[in-house]
Structure 1
Amino acid sequence: MSEMSRELSIDMLSSLPDAAICHILSFLKIKIIMRHKAKTLHTLRLGFIRCNEYQLETWVTTAMERNIRNLHIDLGIGRIAFLHQTHFTCKTMVDMRLDNAQGLPSTGNIFLPSLKKLHLSKVVFEDDEALQQLLSGCPMLQELILNDVFGSREIHSYVNLSSSTIKRLELSLERICRPKDLNYKILIDAPAVRCLRVGRCDLGCIVIPIDMTSLLEANICFRQCCGWKFNNHNQSNLVEFFNHLHQIRCLKISCCCYMQVVGSIEKFNNLTKLELQLGVEWQLLVEFLEVADNLQVLIVTGSCRCIGVHHNVEIRGSCMEPKQVPKCLPSSLKTIAIKQPCFDEHELDLVCYLLRNSQVLERMEILPRKVISTSTWSGFLKNDLTEQFKALQRIVLFERGSKACQLVSEYWTEQVNGGQ
């Protein structure tokens, strides 16, 4: 083959569209891929592979030289990706996802001017300042997802999440946020956040020094509400936390400790959708409705009663109905969904109260647990379905405040007439 023919054969590959080149390279070994001379390499995914620190550094550096846009590193369980400062100086990077990594620097130049999405999972920082140093070098960052990122419990106690550009923020810190780690503090100073998710965090862990006026939706789960004493300090932290979210429109809470502060928090005047999970006394749920005057959608999942995990929480349980009906029931609440009910008397009381007082209600959904039929459980399944059907027959006869309300379950959909 002549020299000209050899050059033409190489150029034929380089001239292909990037999508075609990436598809071809996906079938090749890493060492062969890195010989490719294309000017751009949009995505590099290193997943569950064996490599040493030098190989990782070479691959990432080469990809950055070719204007990489997406970098995803997850070497697998038990394999740590050791990071270098050069990994955080790329002008073209848009999406960075690091899993099981170590070595985020707290000093030196960090420059990721195009980065919009940053996902860090099981990443160990050099110290408390490392994350804020990283964020300061990402002037276009819009999405930040942190999953068990702070690593060593002996050296990390205060983390500052300050950014004026982040619109989506997710925190999941289950590994480190336990009662003995109460010295952990995470300050969230992100006024542009529109979507917030907090998963399995300690009540005293999150500090929000500002009103999050841009926030539209939040999904909150604090781990301290289960089997952990709810004292005045925790109550104060919880009140302060929710008061900074009072402009929110959609709120999902997957724990019950919030019910202990409903009388102390500010009104959620913009809240139109509320989803509550885990068991609570239904009277306390009604109290929460009193701070959501414009609520339109209510979703309750799980048994509406006090269960064993609340044995250290003082529950003001009573079968007496509140004297004053929450404002949202007669004026704005249009959709209610009761998911996975146990159909005990507490829950039937709740359904009865909501149907009777919701004067503009258009739809109520009763969605029992789905049970898979097996020969072993066939008798139990039959009894369970029988009890569900009996409870639904009782609900059909409840008084309704809305003539247009449609009652929906797994078994039927009916047009319900008021005044029964």
Structure 2
Amino acid sequence: MARQRNTKLEALLTEFGYTHTQLADEVNQTAEDTFGKPTQCTDRHVRRWIAGDVQWPWSRYLLPLQEIFGRSPEAMGFMPRKSSRVPAPPPPRPARAKEQRPVRRREFIAVGLAAALGLDAIPTAGRLGTGDVERIRAIVPALYGYDHALGGGALHEVAVQALQQVHHALNHCTYGERVERALYAATGDLAASAGWFAYDAGRQATATGLYNEALQAGMLAGDGQLQARVWSNLAMQARLRDRDQEALRIGRAAVETRQAKTDPRLMALLHCRQAVGHARVGERVRAERSLSRAETSYGRASGEPAAWLSFLTPAELTGLAGAAHHALGKYGRAQQLTADALGMLEAGFARNRVYYTLQRAQALLDGGDVEHAADEAGQAATMAERVHSDRVRGRLSDLRQQMRRYAGSVPEAADFLERTRRTGA
């Protein structure tokens, strides 16, 4: 029998706003979270399903697909063989009530945001003008206002939804050359932002795909600043994966761009991140030189920052300096700088407040002050219940792991572990 393209599954991807890579990530995540069985699904699997090369996927893929789309295999366009049968889903892993409440809250936020952002106003047909471009550009500042307070876990899905609607407009509307260039710049800005939210939410494969899309849009728009921004975020991602030398090379490429050299805020951020990178590989002199350059660059900044750079305040610069000193093993200086950053941090930056509180706790712990470290970590755990950030959860989990060695000798450490165990933090 000649293979037939699976148009039903293809339509579901469009309806739900998934790229091939994003659906593969979702299959892996659903398998792990819901059924407790990790899979190795990739975009190649998804392409083969759509092309009709695979007419009935293995159960390890079919079960998550049923969970994601809420449809039977046949409704997703799959054709059973004589020996095929619909697999019965295994019982889901038990979840504590504390784990389910943030999920419902995150879904509520996403639904409300989609309405608040006015995504329905993005045209689906006709001719696009500069007013339409401005409406698309306005999405990113609105998203970042929520990001500072909530974290990327609450935002990455709605950002991808917005991006899919912009793609539809790009492919189904008409526009002139000048508007086209502006549309690609706006699309790249949105893709880079969605990538950042996915990064913060722990969806690294999704983040990489979105960053690559932003780079392509930046090249089509001739937007060098967008490209430098994405390179910097890719460097952060490499560092997260402990590829420090790669991160430094990517960051160096961003620093050398013409656009970075003409934007003091962007240059300040790049030098700060390079300082942390140099510190992580033990290059003290280069780390200190990068911190000095960051301070000099920031001093030259004027006017209002771009939305994605609105987080770069004196508090953030000081916090990043604390991270660099911590990586160099200068724990006393690191905890003091981080305390200074927390003192300067504005009220709206809830996610960063939790992050830097954990950074200070880590510096105190590494410096031998276990009692104060436990107290600081406990405050962070309480605040962390209000944000959706995988980076925050990761740092808190690492601190809990390290605190266990002191539970028998330091009452404050035992109390921290018990409180966070009870709350599921």
Query: TM-score if structure 2 supplies the norm length?
Result: 0.32
Higher percent of residues as strand: 1
For normalisation by structure 1, the TM-score amounts to 0.32
Please tell me whether Structure 1 or Structure 2 has the larger radius of gyration of its CA atoms: 1
Question: Which has the larger share of helix?
Answer: 2
Q: Which has the higher contact order (CA 8 A, sep 6+)?
A: 2
